[in-house]
């Protein structure tokens, strides 16, 4: 018969418990400090109100960009880029509603419908125009999903040319993204 030294087992179990607690605490600290994006007043997965919809083509909206806030950008961030993409639009091919880049590293948010920050660059949206173009999904369709992404870049704010499309911006950002985060907003008519 094998006898187990109860105090030795207790010490080992205590040590394992302490290690597990420290590991869990480290994960929670990292999660709390993660680069994060939010839209004040709208939860991730929440529904935009009609003020954010396009104002043209009977879309019924005010074409007001959603408010955004971000925090915990990584060290070395020199600028931000923001995109809003509808993967459900164009029968699943997707539509770019907003492309904005060259946002200063000191920025931590944009107000609803706010003029883009000084020095930032508006990219080309779904209509070929510059700046924000609100949602306008077909009437009666299931609400579309709008993926809003922010990228922390190691590029200075003036590094990229004006008027880039979402695809061209993504190509230009390759190898320059320090971190990215996103939220999903929904809208239907």
pLDDT in the model for residue 177: 99
Regarding whether 78 and 28 lie in a shared domain, the answer is no
Q: Global pTM?
A: 0.84
Q: pLDDT tens for residues 98-120?
A: 999 999 999 999 999 999 999 99
Regarding whether 51 and 89 lie in a shared domain, the answer is yes
25 vs 97 pLDDT, higher one: 97
Q: pLDDT tens for residues 12-48?
A: 444 444 444 444 444 444 556 999 999 999 999 999 9
Regarding whether 14 and 81 lie in a shared domain, the answer is no
Enclosing domain of residue 75:
35-187
Regarding whether 39 and 26 lie in a shared domain, the answer is no
Q: Is the pLDDT of residue 68 over 50?
A: yes
Regarding whether 52 and 16 lie in a shared domain, the answer is no
Number of folded domains in the chain? 2
Q: 30-34, 77-81, 83-87, 139-143: which range is least confident on average?
A: 30-34
Give the mean model confidence (pLDDT) for residues 55-76: 96
Q: 144: Cβ–Cβ under 8 A, 6 or more apart, which residues?
A: 86, 88, 89, 135, 137, 186, 187, 188
């Amino acid at each position: 018969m094998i006898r187990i030294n109860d105090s030795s087992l207790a010490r080992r179990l205590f040590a394992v418990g302490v290690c597990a607690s420290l590991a869990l605490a480290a994960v929670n600290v990292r999660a709390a400090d993660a680069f994060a994006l939010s839209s004040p007043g709208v939860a991730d997965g929440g529904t935009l109100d009609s003020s954010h919809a396009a104002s043209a083509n009977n879309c019924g909206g005010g074409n007001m960009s959603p408010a955004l806030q971000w925090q915990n950008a990584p060290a070395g961030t020199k600028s931000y880029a923001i995109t809003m993409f509808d993967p459900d639009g164009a029968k699943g091919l997707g539509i770019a509603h907003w492309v904005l880049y060259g946002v200063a590293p000191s920025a931590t948010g944009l107000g609803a419908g706010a003029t883009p920050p000084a020095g930032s660059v508006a990219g080309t949206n779904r209509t070929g125009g510059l700046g924000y173009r609100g949602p306008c999904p077909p009437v009666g369709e299931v609400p579309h999903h709008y993926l809003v992404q922010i990228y922390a870049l190691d590029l200075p704010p003036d590094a990229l040319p004006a008027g880039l499309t979402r695809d061209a911006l993504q190509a230009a950002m390759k190898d320059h993204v320090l971190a990215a985060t996103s939220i999903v907003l929904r809208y239907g008519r």
